[in-house]
């Protein structure tokens, strides 16, 4: 079974986008690291990123059909996309929501995620390490 690491809007720009907030790790490096971290804990990880909301919804449907665990950073969609939230609510395996930055210490509109209430858990503010922790948690849960 796959474990999906799904990244939403603007996350393909990691490494060059607001590096003071999101760090210097590029999206390509993050994706490769997620595959490697997954291997280390026995997970077959597939990492994807999209700027198209409907595409993320389709990927979540695929994960739901496969009963696959998901690590999800929805980017700005976290704060307002009921479509992403509803797709997350269909998942049956663990869903860990990850944010690189501490959304609670930033602008007020970022303090609330509409996805969090349907996630198994949320990690924010730990940079790319949040993805590693999410994957290791999923591995523990599956065993």
Residue 132 touches ligand DQA, criterion: CB under 6 A: no
Residue 3 touches ligand DQA, criterion: CB under 6 A: no
Please list every residue from 8 through 37 that binds ligand DQA, using CB under 6 A: 10
Number of residues that bind ligand DQA (CB under 6 A): 10
CB closer to ligand DQA out of 15 and 142: 15
40 beta partners: none
Please list every residue from 62 through 121 that binds ligand DQA, using CB under 6 A: 73, 75-76, 78, 99-101, 103, 110
In angstroms, what is the minimal distance from the CB of 76 to ligand DQA?
3
Number of other CB atoms surrounding residue 68 within 10 Å: 20
Annotated catalytic residue 99: yes
* Contact indicator for 89, 117 with CB cutoff of 8 Å: no
Q: Residue 107 is encoded by which pair of tokens?
A: 């602008």
Burial label for 91, CB within 10 Å (0-12, 13-18, 19+), is: buried
Residue 60: strand, helix, or coil: helix
Chain residues binding ligand DQA by CB under 6 A are 10, 73, 75-76, 78, 99-101, 103, 110
């Amino acid at each position: 079974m796959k474990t999906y690491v799904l990244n939403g809007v603007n996350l393909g720009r990691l490494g060059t986008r607001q590096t003071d907030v999101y760090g210097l790790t590029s999206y390509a490096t993050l994706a490769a690291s997620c595959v490697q971290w997954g291997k280390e804990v026995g997970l077959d990880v597939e990492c994807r990123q999209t700027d198209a909301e409907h595409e993320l919804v389709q990927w979540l449907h695929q994960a739901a059909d496969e009963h696959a665990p998901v690590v999800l950073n929805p980017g700005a969609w976290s704060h307002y996309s009921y479509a992403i939230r509803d797709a997350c609510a269909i998942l049956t395996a663990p869903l860990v929501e990850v944010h690189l930055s501490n959304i609670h210490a930033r602008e007020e509109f970022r303090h609330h995620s509409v996805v969090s209430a349907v996630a198994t858990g949320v990690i924010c503010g730990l940079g790319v390490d949040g993805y590693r922790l999410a994957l290791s948690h999923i591995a523990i849960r599956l065993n």
